[in-house]
Amino acid sequence: MSGQPGQGAATRGDETFVSFGEQGAQLTYGSYLRLPQLLDSQHLESDPPAHDELLFITIHQVYELWFKQLLHEVTAARDALLSPPGTGRDRLWWAQHLLARVHVIERTLVQQVDVLETMTPQDFLEFRQRLAPASGFQSVQFRELEFLSGAKDPGYLDRFRGLSDDEQERLRRRLEEPTLWDAFVTALGGAGFDVGDDEQVARALHTVAHDRDSHAALWALAEALLQHDELAASWRARHVVMVERMIGAKSGTGGSSGSTYLRSRLPLQYYPLLWELRSQL
């Protein structure tokens, strides 16, 4: 939000009235953004307070806000691809536009690791034990994003038993609903391709890749999906190195194997058919 609050005025005859700002309405910058609640959400567990715990809490809350935005954008992109042609704005263009925003946010997520790495291992250890059994493994929004992107893992609900009823419901809903990849395959089918199985989808992708003049929008979407996949992989790689820098081979506070578990996630691909396509070009 920009501008100076309370400076919007207009004249009606001889009467000057405030049209916006603090004098014209109850809504203010702080109330609109819920700043009192937002800025009261960082509560340190360490006693005496560890200097870097505020940084640790803030950066992870920021991550969760970005995850919320990513879910908003990826869900909208998926829904656009699932909508019938001719239902408003060009649905393929809109999905690509939203995914371009997703890419920018994901690059921001990677860059935010630099902020965490201004914290030394010694400073982190001042309050790390206070975190147990909390762990980044428990980020429901991050799992939602993986499920929605195409990497569904029903076993997560069994492996982690600290989920609230609402969180379990959200994850079950993500497991049941179409993924971004499902929506892209639907768009391929809407363009006249046979997409009954992975072999047919692979052939369709091959055709799209070799005739970009006829299938420009589909090719752009395929590239946008691959970019999403690549940036998610970049974040996982950057994250595991940061964890190893902070705690080495120690176990995670939530009982996971720490960096060992994180490294096991590095080969994950949302869209293996798009990666396999590279070998066929």
59 is in an annotated binding site: yes
| Separation of alpha carbons 226 and 212, rounded Å | 16
The verdict on 59 and 91 lying in the same domain is yes
247 is in an annotated binding site: no
58 is in an annotated binding site: yes
CATH number of the domain to which 237 belongs: 1.20.58.480
Q: What is the pLDDT of residue 252?
A: 52
Question: Residue 160's pLDDT band (boundaries 50, 70, 90)?
Answer: confident
The verdict on 85 and 25 lying in the same domain is no
How many domains are there within the chain? 2
Nearest alpha-carbon partner for 259 in 267, 276, 247: 247
Residue 131 pLDDT exceeds 50: yes
Question: Residue 221's pLDDT band (boundaries 50, 70, 90)?
Answer: very high
Q: In 10 A of CB 129, how many CB atoms?
A: 10
Residue 210 pLDDT exceeds 60: yes
Q: Using one digit for the tens of pLDDT, what is the confidence trace for 251-264?
A: 555 555 567 777 77
Nearest alpha-carbon partner for 222 in 267, 264, 176, 281: 281
Q: Using one digit for the tens of pLDDT, what is the confidence trace for 60-104?
A: 999 999 999 999 999 999 999 998 876 656 899 999 999 999 999
Average pLDDT of the chain? Answer: 87
Look at residue 45 and tell me if it is in a domain: no
Residue 30 pLDDT exceeds 70: yes
Look at residue 118 and tell me if it is in a domain: yes
Q: In 10 A of CB 246, how many CB atoms?
A: 19
More confident residue, 10 or 186: 186
253 is in an annotated binding site: yes
128 is in an annotated binding site: yes
Average pLDDT over residues 142-149: 96
Nearest alpha-carbon partner for 51 in 120, 109, 141: 120
Residue 32 pLDDT exceeds 50: yes
The verdict on 19 and 56 lying in the same domain is no
pTM: 0.85
State what percent of residues in the chain have pLDDT above 70.
Answer: 84
60 is in an annotated binding site: yes
The verdict on 189 and 235 lying in the same domain is yes
Question: Residue 242's pLDDT band (boundaries 50, 70, 90)?
Answer: confident
Q: What is the pLDDT of residue 257?
A: 56
Question: Residue 162's pLDDT band (boundaries 50, 70, 90)?
Answer: confident
Q: Which domain holds residue 36?
A: 1-40
The verdict on 56 and 32 lying in the same domain is no
| SS3 track for the chain | CCCCCCCEEEEECCEEEEEECCCCCCCCHHHHCCHHHHCCCCCCCCCCCCCCHHHHHHHHHHHHHHHHHHHHHHHHHHHHHHCCCCCCCCHHHHHHHHHHHHHHHHHHHHHHHHHHCCCCHHHHHCCHHHHCCCCHHHCHHHHHHHHHHCCCCCHHHHHCCCCCHHHHHHHHHHHHCCCHHHHHHHHHHHCCCCCCCHHHHHHHHHHHHHCCCCCHHHHHHHHHHHHHHHHHHHHHHHHHHHHHHHHCCCCCCCCCCCHHHHHHCCCCCCCHHHHHHHHHC
